[in-house]
Amino acid sequence: MSAERRRTPRYQFVADAEVAEIESGTKFRVKTGDLSIAGCFLDMLNPLPDGTEIRITIFRGDSAFTALGRVVFVFPNLGMGVVFTSVEGDQLTALQEWLAELSRGWWASLAVESGKI
């Protein structure tokens, strides 16, 4: 059994996103699968190679989050894991707000499942 390598909580988070490959400028429309303060998983039939540098914009309602990132693992025909490598201050604040909302929802769902609500 492999050890869990994540250092931060991740949350299921399905949203529209746009990925731009830094080197070529090629853009892709994708969906997120999960999200954390450190990165995300992107659902893609043809994921980019491991190590590819990207700019990602994730859309949620009327807001968006943009960061630079790097592909750190690939599941062929399924998607890719991305680590955020550079996040501007205002973008970090937006991401933290989204994660706080997701965290509250996660705790509430645990309480419902355990019968505490």
Domain count, the chain: 1
- Look at residue 93 and tell me if it is in a domain: yes
CB 41 within 8 A of CB 82: yes
More confident residue, 62 or 1: 62
Arithmetic mean of pLDDT over the chain: 87
CB-based contact 42:30 (threshold 8 Å): yes
- Give the pLDDT band (50/70/90) at residue 56: very high
pLDDT digits (tens, 9 = 90+) for 32-42: 999 999 999 99
Domain-located, residue 70: yes
Is residue 2 pLDDT above 90, yes or no?
A: no
Say yes or no to pLDDT of 107 above 60. no
pLDDT of residue 3 exceeding 80: no
Q: Is residue 36 part of a domain?
A: yes
Q: In terms of residue numbers, what domain contains 80?
A: 10-114
pTM exceeds 0.75 for this model: yes
> 79 Cβ partners below 8 Å, 6+ apart?
30, 33, 41, 42, 43, 44, 47
1 located within any domain: no
Q: What is the CATH number of the domain that holds 90?
A: 2.40.10.220
